[in-house]
Structure 1
Amino acid sequence: MAETRLAFKAGRAFRRGSTNFVDPDPTKGAILLQNGEDGLLHFIWKNRSNNDVEEDLILFPGDATFAKVEQSAWGRTYVLKFSSSDQRHFFWMQDANGSRDEEFVGNVNRLLADPSIVPIWYSEGYNPNSQAAGPSTSTSAPAASSSQAPGSYQATPEELARIRQIVTSLGARGGAPAAEPEPEILLTDVLTPANLRPLFRSNPELVQSLFPHLPPDLPSPPNVETLERIVQSPQFRAAVRNLDMALRTGLLGGLVRTLGLPEEAGTGVEPFLRALQDQARREEGGGDRMETD
C-alpha cells in the first residue's frame, strides 16, 4: 500500500506559449509525495474538486528539486526541476496562509533527497523566513532550492480511530479543548502529554485498547508507564503533527467516512474535532436510552 509522506494544497501553473511566463491554473489541487508499492517515490498532483490524480511522477533520490521562482511577483510560485532532464513542472501555493510555505518546500526537498527520512516539523509559531508572500504572475527561471524538513503520511482508519477514542475521552471529562475548538487549533494542542497522562491513569482500560495499534516491539504486557513514554516521544509528536497536516489539506474526507464521520470532518482539524464530539454525544445518548428502556 502506498504511504503518503507529505501533502499540502497547491495548484498547477503552465508556461505561456514559448515565453518564460507561467500562469496559475485556478483549479483547487494538492501535492502529495508517496512511497509507492513499487518502492519508488511518487510526486503526485491531485485535483481536490474531483479527487482525481492528474499527475504522477516517479522520482529517484537526488534527481529533482523543488525551488521557488524568484522572479514571481507573488513569491508563492515553485518549480519542480530535474537534473537528468529539462522537465519543469510549475505549482503555486493555495493555502491562504503562506507562513508555512518554506516548511513544506523544505519537506519536499528532503524527501526528494532521501524518501526514507523521518518527518520533522517546526514548532508552532516558528517561521524560518520573515519574507512576506502574496499572489502570482511568474517567470520560470530556476531558483535555489530550500532544505528543511520531511513530510507527512496518510493516516490509517485505525490511527484515526485511536485519535478519536482519546479525543472523545478527553472531551467527555473536560480534560482538553476538543469540545469547543478554537480557530486554528492544532491536534498537538489537544494530544499533549499533560492531557493524556491523567487520562491513562484514570482510565486503565484505554491501555489495553490502544496497544494493538502501536508498534509490535513495545514492552509487554502493556502498561501506563509505556504509554506515557510513547506520548512524550518525538515520534508520537511527529505522528500527531502529520495527521494535523493531512487534515489541513482537506483530502481525508473519504478516509474519515470509514469512522462513521461525515466527509466534511476530513476538511480540517476543527471540523474533525467537532465531528468526533457530535458522534460521542450521539453514542452516549444512545447508550443512556438503552439502559433506561
Structure 2
Amino acid sequence: MPDTRIAFKAGRAFRREGTNFVDPSPTKGAVELVNGDDDLLHFQWRNRVTNETEEDLILFPSDASFNKVAQSAWGRTYVLKFSSSDQRHFFWMQNADASRDAEFVMNVNKLLADPSDDPVWLPAVGSSEPTASGSNTQRELTQTERDGIQNFVNSLMLPGGAAGSNEHDVALSDILTPANLTPLFTSRPDLITALFPHLPPDLPSPPSAETLQQIIASPQFRAAVRNLDQAFRTGLLGGLVRGLGLPEEAGTSVEAFLRAIQEQAGKEGEGGESMDTD
C-alpha cells in the first residue's frame, strides 16, 4: 500500500511559452512524496478539488532537487529539477502561513537524496520533540461512530476554550496522554465502544478499559499521535474532518479541529442540526 512521506499544499505553475516567466495556476493542490507499491519514491501533485493525482513522477536517489526560484517576485515559487534531464516542474506554496516553507523544502530534499531517510519535523508549539511523518487510512464514519468520537473529544475540553486557555500551545501529544485518557475510559465506558472499531482487529474482544490503557501507554500509540500532530500541521486533513461533520478548515490545525468540535457540540446542545456538506 502506498505510504505518504510528506504532503503540503501547493499549486502548479507553468512556464510562459517562449519566455522565462512562470505563471501560477489558481487550482488548489498538494505536493505529496509517496513510497509506491513499486518500492520507488513518487513525487505527486494532487488536485484538492477533484482529489485526482494529476502528476506522478518517479524519483531516483540524488537525481532531483527542490529549490526556491530566486527570480520569483512573489518569493514562494519552487522548481523540481533533474540532473539526468532538463525537466523542470514548477510549484507555488498555497499555505497562507509561509513560516514552514523551508521546513517542507528541507524534508523534500532529504527524501530526494535518500528515499529511505525519515523526515524530521520541528516540534509543534507546546511539544518538546521532533516528529516523523506518517500516513492514515480514511473512510466515511457512521453517525454512531461520529457521535462517539465527538463525545470523546468533548471530554478532553477544558472550560474556557479549546483544550486550555492558551489555544496556540495545543498539541495532540500534550492532550492524548495516559494521564488524561485513563480516567475517561474508566468513567465513560461508552467511549470504549465508539473507539474500538478504529483500533487493530487483533485486539481482545469485548473491548475493555484495561486494553485501551495498554494501547495508550505504548510507544506505537505515542508515535501515531505525533504523526497525527504533523498531519494537522500540513493542513491536509479535510477529508477526515468532513467525515466528522466538520468544515474543511477544521483540518488545518489541532486548534481549529478542537474549536470546531466545541462549536458543533454547542449547536447540538441548543437543539441545532448538524449536516455534512462539501
Give me the TM-score of the superposition, normalised by structure 1: 0.66
Q: Say whether residues 1:195 and 2:180 are aligned partners.
A: yes
Residues 1:208 and 1:98: Cα distance change in structure 2 (over 3 Å): same
1:267 Cα deviation from its structure 2 partner:
4.2
- Aligned partners of 1:93, 1:35: CA distance in 2, in Å? 22
Shift of 1:5: 2.3
Deviations 1:246-286 (A, max 9, x none): 5x13xx44444445x24536643355435544666789999
Structure 1 unaligned spans of 5+: 127-147, 287-293
Pairwise CA distance, 1:121? 1.7
Are the structure 2 counterparts of residues 262 and 240 from structure 1 closer, same or farther at C-alpha, using a change threshold of 3 Å? closer
By how many angstroms is 1:94 displaced? 1.4
Query: 2: distance between equivalents of 1:243 and 1:175?
Result: 26
Deviation string 1:145-194 (CA, Å, 9 cap, x unpaired) is xxx986442453499979756424323x8698359994695544543555
Residues 43-192 of structure 1 aligned to structure 2 (within 5 Å)? 43-125=43-125, 151-157=133-139, 166-171=152-157, 177-178=162-163, 182=167, 186-188=171-173, 190-192=175-177
Q: Percent identity of the aligned residues?
A: 55
Pick 1 or 2: higher relative contact order, CA cutoff 8 A, min separation 6: 1
CA distance in 1, matches of 2:110, 2:58: 16
Secondary structure of residue in 1 paired with 2:229: helix
Offset at 1:97? Answer: 0.9
Contact 2:162–2:258 under 8 Å retained in 1: no
Name the SS for the 1:91 alignment partner.
strand
Q: CA deviation at 1:117?
A: 3.8
* Structure 2: runs of 5 or more not aligned: 272-278
Shift of 1:80: 0.8
**24-33 or 159-168, larger mean C-alpha shift:** 159-168
TM-score (norm 2): 0.69
CA apart distance, 1:233: 6.9
Q: Distance in 1 between matches of 2:165 and 2:22?
A: 43
- Separation of aligned partners in 2, 1:201 and 1:176: 24
Q: Which residue, out of 242, 248, 254, partners 1:264?
A: 248
Distance 1:266 1:108 in 2: 26
Aligned counterparts of 1:150 and 1:106: Cα–Cα separation in 2: 13
- 1:10 matched to 2:7? The reply is no
1:51-90 per-residue CA deviation (whole Å, 9 max, x = no partner) reads 3322121222332221122333433221111122111111
Give a deviation string over 1:195-220, Cα, whole Å, max 9, x none. 3354456557767876775568999x
Aligned residue for 2:227?
239
Matched residue SS, 1:50: coil
Q: Cα gap change, 1:199/1:41 in structure 2, threshold over 3 Å: closer, same or farther?
A: same
2:2 and 2:34 in contact (8 A); partners too = yes
SS at match of 2:218: helix
Q: Residue 178 of structure 1 contacts residue 277 of structure 1 at CA under 8 Å; is this kept in 2?
A: no
Match of 1:143 in 2: none
